[in-house]
Chain A
Amino acid sequence: MSRFRLIGEYAVAIAILVLVWFVYAIVFDVPSFILPLPSDVGRALIDMIPEQDVAMHFLVTSGEVLAGFVLGTILGYVIGYLVGKIKLLEEALMPYILLAQTAPKIALAPLFVIWFGLGFVSKLVLIISMVFFPVMLGAMFGLKSIDYNLKCLMQITGLSWWQKIVQVELPHSLPQIFAGLKVGMVQAVIAAIVAEWISGESGLGYLLIFNSTTYNSPMLFASIIYTIIMGILFYALISFLENRFLFWHESKQIVRKS
């Protein structure tokens, strides 16, 4: 019931946006290459599919994001776990980590092109660097926030290091990791698109640039909408996983009660 209401609210919000856009473009007679009519954009959304092979570009970009996301998450957890476990490693690495965390990693994109070429790898590295830090910090703080008694319990019960991870440490860190993933997801999509601007011959970022340089505004708008759709799909994926794995967490209780 509440889910349908939520979808309804979004539908109304989008309808209002489109209406305002429509009225504005007509009343002020805005040139089509600056602000195309919603109807033109709607047509472009469909025309693009065969004309510009949207499905392929969509898959390329989401493939990059997904691959970078998975690798960045695994790498982030492993390093975060080690840094959280080994005091020496934390002291040695933390200054670099904070430095790298605060640096705008988009600025590294041109460098990655020089290092890793114009292909898939440089994009992947950029996306990984975006996802890595929030996940790593989440894994580290999740590990460090384990209650003292819980640590004693693990020792008394005689858990192996692997059992500790699977049974206690990983699930305990999941709330922080998911918080990191949500930040990382937005960053990863941005990274993928920026990387395609620089080096792409395919992907939604490439379509944006292509339609911009050819002044094909309806299709540029449509490309933007496709990137938004991709962002929403990834957000939905993470929300789905979060609800699946964090059903027990405090943050989920308010939603469940309603």
Chain B
Amino acid sequence: MSTAIRIEDVNKIYKSSGGREVHALSHIHLDVRQSEFISIIGPSGCGKSTLLRILANLDQPSSGRIHWESSADHIGFVFQDATLLPWKTVYQNAKFPLEVKKLDTKENLAKLDKLLELAGLKGFEKAYPRELSGGMRQRVSIVRALSYNPDVLLMDEPFGALDALTRDKMGIELMRIWNETKKTILFVTHSIAEAVFLSDRVIVMSPRPGKIDEILNIDLPRPRTVDVKETPEFGSYVKKLREVLG
């Protein structure tokens, strides 16, 4: 499999308000493969969101380089809250990037319809965000992030604000969408079980300075169903990650 993103020795140093230097990221090396699902896990302050923000070009690394196989601005971003525009309908929200980028061709809009269907939003196109549940809102934001067909999807704790049941369902939904679209996904989470269930690889980070502690390959067969969570292999991955995280 070819490389999608090569992260080379990326460092990020912030000046805190007290003038103290904060080492948010330290010597981050990572090769992200095409169509790979990577989860990044670690305690608060380990720099996992900073890494995502740098990849999204919302922030610049202090040193180091990021090589993109495709164009660097071809990323989609999903936030912890859905960040929908309340005055736009589901459809208008999903279409928003296409419209702004003037890519709302007939062909792309047809693809958007497919995405909406894939995310289970068919029939809700004319609803407004306030009329939707948290899970549905987040699905709209995932469709929005995928609408312009980015190569890489960056997700910053996207299910963090959802209840446990919805969260599990969203994981399965995301698996399905990933399966269909073959995107490269970087997924920041706090949940070990979620990371194991979704990922090809799990990156464990530790704080001060934020660095990669461990990269764990998850060799569970795909496609995965909820039943995989009952297997001993799943349990041992979870156990291993719990040990690394301390």
Contact = CB atoms under 8 A, between A and B. Distances in A.
| Most chain A Cβ neighbours within 10 Å, of B53, B81, B85, B128 | B85
A185 B80 CA distance: 40
* Size band of the interface chain B makes with A: 20 to 34
Contacts, number: 45
B237 interface: no
B73 A158 contact: yes
A157 B130 contact: no
Interface stretch (B94-102, B207-215, B226-234): B94-102
A171 B83 contact: no
**Which interface residue of B81, B83, B86, B87 has the most chain A CB atoms within 10 A?**
B87
Nearest to B128: A248
Interface of B is mostly: loop
Contacts of B83: 147, 149-150, 153
Interface in A2-51: none
Contacts of B79: 149, 152-153
B100 A248 contact: no
A243 interface: no
Interface in B32-91: 53, 56-58, 73, 75-77, 79-81, 83, 85-87
A171 B96 CA distance: 14
Interface in B101-151: 101, 128, 130
Contact of B100 (A149, A157, A253): A157
A147 B85 CA distance: 11
Contacts of B75: 156
A149 B155 CA distance: 12
Interface of B: 53, 56-58, 73, 75-77, 79-81, 83, 85-87, 96-97, 100-101, 128, 130
Interface of A: 147, 149-150, 152-153, 155-159, 163, 167-168, 171, 248-250, 253
